[in-house]
């Protein structure tokens, strides 16, 4: 059996065992299985702060990483600091390669991402995708705050997927079935820090120049890369090499 087949078998097994299970149960099992070889991706949006709170109940000092693109809102650093203090976490920060950023901005200017999808993906590739590869080096699994309800690009996300872009490690999405209301209620119940832009109409928060507030009734990710068509709105962190959002378990190869 190839490593890829083994990974899909493992993902299918996790999906069968934990379908519909509470997020905390999934996380407890994940930390029991992977120990320090599982890491949690956080951009400090509301899903991620809920996940960090859950992870801190599931294990002692979970690994959490953060991709600092260099184009983030000031408020993102404020929530990072609040979370760091509250949970005593040593958050792993990853920055883009400075030479790649310098070269991009010299050649195309600071706002090239508005000019075309290719330019936007180039910027995301340098500032997010390449650092993600370094953040996941050596990991056997990672945890994300993806939810099916978030957007049209995420409706068939599974609880556990195989990340075919990153050495066939597992990607766990414990909040996959949560609604936005579930996320907000969880924050209220647990009194955990919330990114201050959420209250200003930003349910999804990325880089400052590429995120705007949404209007009532709009898709929760409508404010991300708002100038692009809906089906283009992924930054590369959750898509495979063909540009498709990663698929899960036994369905992945079908």
Q: Which of 56, 123, 124, 235 is catalytic?
A: 235
What's the length of the chain?
254
DSSP string, 151-199: -GGGTT--SEEEETTTTTEEEE-TTTT--HHHHHHHHHHHT----TTGG
Q: Which is nearer to ligand SF4, 108 or 251 (CB)?
A: 108
Q: How far apart are CA 198 and CA 63, in angstroms?
A: 25
Nearest CA to 177 out of 145, 218, 220, 224 is that of 145
- Using CB atoms, what's the residue nearest to ligand SF4? 207
Residues 95-114 that bind ligand SF4 (CB under 6 A): 113
Q: How far apart are CA 141 and CA 156, in angstroms?
A: 20
Contact code string over 214-243 relative to ligand SF4, x by CB under 6 A: ---------------------x--------
CB-based contact 240:246 (threshold 8 Å): yes
> Which region among 18-26, 50-58, 97-105, 205-213 touches ligand SF4 (by CB under 6 A)?
205-213
Residue 64 is inside which H or E element, if any?
strand 64-67
> Which region among 25-33, 57-65, 122-130, 191-199 touches ligand SF4 (by CB under 6 A)?
122-130
Q: Which is nearer to ligand SF4, 203 or 206 (CB)?
A: 206
> Which region among 73-81, 124-132, 158-166, 241-249 touches ligand SF4 (by CB under 6 A)?
124-132
Least CB distance to ligand SF4 at residue 36 (A): 28
> Which region among 54-62, 74-82, 116-124, 130-138 touches ligand SF4 (by CB under 6 A)?
116-124
Classify strands 92-94 and 141-143 as parallel, antiparallel or unpaired: unpaired
Q: How far apart are CA 132 and CA 171, in angstroms?
A: 13
Least CB distance to ligand SF4 at residue 111 (A): 9
Instruction: Find all residues with CB under 8 Å of 84, minimum gap 6, and list them.
Output: 91
Among 210, 222, 248, 252, binds ligand SF4 (CB under 6 A): 210
Contact code string over 56-95 relative to ligand SF4, x by CB under 6 A: -------------x-x------------------------
Q: Which is nearer to ligand SF4, 151 or 249 (CB)?
A: 151
Q: In what order do the strands lie in the sheet with 141-143?
A: 92-94, 64-67, 38-41, 141-143, 169-172, 160-163
Q: Which residues pair with 143 in a beta bridge?
A: 40, 172
Least CB distance to ligand SF4 at residue 49 (A): 20
Q: How far apart are CA 240 and CA 26, in angstroms?
A: 24
235 is catalytic: yes
Residue 85 is inside which H or E element, if any?
helix 74-87
Instruction: Give the binding site for ligand SF4 (CB under 6 A).
Output: 69, 71, 113, 120, 123-124, 127-128, 206-207, 209-210, 235
Q: Active-site residue numbers?
A: 235
């Amino acid at each position: 059996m190839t490593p890829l087949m083994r990974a899909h078998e493992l993902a299918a097994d996790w999906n069968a065992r934990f379908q519909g299970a509470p997020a905390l149960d999934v996380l407890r099992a994940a930390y029991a299985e992977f120990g320090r070889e599982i890491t949690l991706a956080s951009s400090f949006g509301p899903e991620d702060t809920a996940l960090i709170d859950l992870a801190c109940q599931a294990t002692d000092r979970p690994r959490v990483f953060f991709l600092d693109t260099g184009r983030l809102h000031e408020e993102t650093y404020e929530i990072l600091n609040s979370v760091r203090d509250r949970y005593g976490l040593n958050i792993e920060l990853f920055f883009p390669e400075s030479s790649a950023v310098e070269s991009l901005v010299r050649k195309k200017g600071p706002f090239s991402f508005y000019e075309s999808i290719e330019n936007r993906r180039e910027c995301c590739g340098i500032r997010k995708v390449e650092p993600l590869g370094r953040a996941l080096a050596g990991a056997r699994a990672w945890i994300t705050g993806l939810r099916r309800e978030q957007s049209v690009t995420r409706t068939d996300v599974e609880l556990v997927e195989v990340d075919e872009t990153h050495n066939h490690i597992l990607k766990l999405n414990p909040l996959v079935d949560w609604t936005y209301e579930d996320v907000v209620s969880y924050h209220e119940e647990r009194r955990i820090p919330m990114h201050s832009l959420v209250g200003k109409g930003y349910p999804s928060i990325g880089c400052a120049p590429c995120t705007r507030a949404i209007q009532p009734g709009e898709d929760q990710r409508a404010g991300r890369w708002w100038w692009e068509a809906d089906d283009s709105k992924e930054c590369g962190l959750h898509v495979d090499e063909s540009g498709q959002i990663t698929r899960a378990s036994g369905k992945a190869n079908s």
